[in-house]
Amino acid sequence: MKYIDEYRDGRLAKLIADRIAALADAARSYCLMEFCGGHTHAISRYGLEDLLPANVRMIHGPGCPVCVLPIGRIDAAIALAARPEITLCTYGDLMRVPGTNRSSLLEAKAAGADVRVVYSTLDALRVAETEPEREVVFFAIGFETTTPPTALALKTAIAKGLGNFSVFCNHVVTPAAMHHILESPPVRKLGSIKIDGFIGPAHVSAVIGTKPYELFAEKYCKPVVVAGFEPLDVVQAILMLVRQINDGRHVVENQYIRAVTRHGNDKAQAEVANFFELRESFEWRGLGELPLSGLRLRPQYAAYDAEKRFSMMTPRGKDNPACECGAILRGAKQPAECKLFGAVCTPDTPMGSCMVSSEGACAAQWIYGRFREKAPQANATRVVT
Amino acid sequence: MCLAIPVKVTEVLPGDMAKVKLEGVLKVISTALIDDIRPGDYVILHVGYALTKIKPEEAQRTLTLIQEASMGVAP
């Protein structure tokens, strides 16, 4: 496929990895965090860590919206879906995320709840249009990449007068989360690790541009390289970060120039700003309450806000106490350090969110990486990706 | 979640929609988030919406930079 195949040349990736090895100072380590789950998936899928020298280490960050969605919001969605008048439309990623006591939307659907997997908000709108007797709620999650499609769905619903369409908003924002990984008191208290530089998200940046990271790079003296999701994009970004660290520079560089500009997509940003505002704080699984890190609908759109419309309560969910997803999301632990990993927690029977999404660090490790290390082995289960 | 793929626009439709082709699959998507779309353009497709156009010249420049980096030429 054009614009994909040419960025998957293994020979070139190996040559660039050799350059990284040649440039990396053997007397120090390079701890680089890939914030975004898409990069985590690519790094595991293409075995990029095996190409890198031992002193260049990738830390998997919390940039997987499925993984950071707190259990209480899943519980709230399950409770909402159980109401007889409601049709809950959701992206497929959320269907198997375990709620409290390992309930899930998939189980709710099996028990009779009207839960439907949609590919796009366009599909959710179509359901609202063709079934006017149903209350159609779109379960909206995701970073800045996924927020504009939700904004446009609201715009369309208003234009078409779809009074039976609403949004359960769980959208979160990237720069705030990156800031909190380094600074927020709850994260500091929970313990974190040294990070020398960041690989910035690909498609989030297509929307917001590279500009929002500039303050971050300056304030924390950490280089950021925005990168595409293909393997050559990632290794090139790692090379750029190693060069910056060696030079003592900490600026924002853009490796993904074919799709990302400094200012991003103005039109998408305007649509988002029209419909959404920042919440004072939002809970992230594994990171706690992070100020100004999530979005909600503006008050004038309360009629389309499922939380207000259905007086939704977000219960305090209880994570499995043995699950290490929280520490893994902060980069403080590796998946194989969790005693559930591969024993009772696999993509077929996920106990924690990092095992549900293919972009979660645990799922990536299980599917692609477990043969590299002596991780606990479960019964061999065939994983369909 | 933020996975998005490059697809080729085959036909521009009314109402900010377009037909795109990906590996032989035809799909109708929304182009409401981008301007000035033409058949032959490649866009980044995410959950049914085109997020941005791919710039062919920058795509080529990236490949050139990667080639140079693999040969040890800075940057």
A239 touches chain B (CB under 8 A): yes
Which domain does A184 fall in, by range?
4-64+175-254
- Is there a contact between B47 and A120 if contact means CB atoms under 8 Å apart? yes
Tell me the pairing of strands A252-254 and A197-200: unpaired
- Same domain for A112 and A82, yes or no, is yes
The answer to whether the CB of B50 falls within 8 A of the CB of A145 is no
Strands B42-46 and B5-13: antiparallel
Query: Which candidate, A347, A366, A381, places its Cα nearest to that of A97?
Result: A347
**pLDDT tier for residue A358 given thresholds of 50, 70 and 90:** confident
**pLDDT computed for residue A109 by the predictor:** 98
Min Cα separation A64/chain B (Å) = 7
Give a yes or no: residue A210 inside a domain: yes
**Residue A328 pLDDT class (50, 70, 90 cuts):** confident
Sign of the four-CA dihedral A122, A126, A132, A133: negative
The whole-number pLDDT of residue A95 equals 94
Q: What percent of chain A has pLDDT over 70?
A: 94
The alpha carbon of residue B17 is apart from the nearest alpha carbon of chain A, in Å, by: 11
* Yes or no, beta carbons of B44 and A142 under 8 Å apart: no
Digit-coded pLDDT (tens) for A122-175 = 999 999 999 999 999 999 999 999 999 999 999 999 999 999 999 999 999 998
Does residue A45 share a domain with residue A163?
no
Domains and CATH numbers, chain B: 5-70 (2.30.30.140)
Q: How far is B13 from chain A (nearest CA, A)?
A: 15
- Distance (Å) from the C-alpha of residue A199 to the closest C-alpha of chain B? 15
For B32, the closest of A64, A141, A152 (CB atoms) is A152
pTM: 0.92
Q: Residue A119 is nearest to which of B34, B47, B66, comparing CB atoms?
A: B47
Asked whether the predicted pLDDT for residue B36 surpasses 60, the reply is: yes
For residue A57, tell me if it sits in a domain.
yes
Q: What is the mean pLDDT of residues B3-28?
A: 94
Min Cα–Cα distance to chain A from B39, Å: 15
User: Which element (helix H / strand E) includes B70?
Assistant: helix B56-70
pLDDT, tens digit (0-9, with 9 covering 90-100), for A56-109: 999 888 888 988 899 999 999 999 999 999 999 999 989 999 888 889 999 999
Task: Specify whether A94 is located in the same domain as A187.
Answer: no
Q: Which residue has the higher pLDDT, B2 or A208?
A: A208
CB of A19 within 8 Å of a chain B CB? The answer is yes
- Chain B residues with CB-CB distance to A64 below 8 A: 1
Co-location of A18 and A166 in the same domain: no
Average pLDDT score over residue span B49-57: 97
Q: Which residue of A has its CA nearest to B73?
A: A19
**Number of structural domains chain A divides into:** 2
Facing residue for A203 by CB, picked from B8, B30, B51: B51
A236-283 per-position pLDDT tens digit: 999 999 999 999 999 999 999 999 999 999 999 999 999 999 999 999
Q: Helix A231-247 to helix B56-70 angle, to the nearest 10 degrees?
A: 60
Q: Which residues of A touch B54 (CB under 8 A)?
A: 3, 258-259
End-of-domain residue from the set A234, A254, A274: A254
Confidence of residue A377 (pLDDT cuts 50, 70, 90): very low
Among chain A residues, CA nearest to B45:
A203
Q: Can you give the CATH number for the domain in which A52 is found? A: 3.40.50.11750
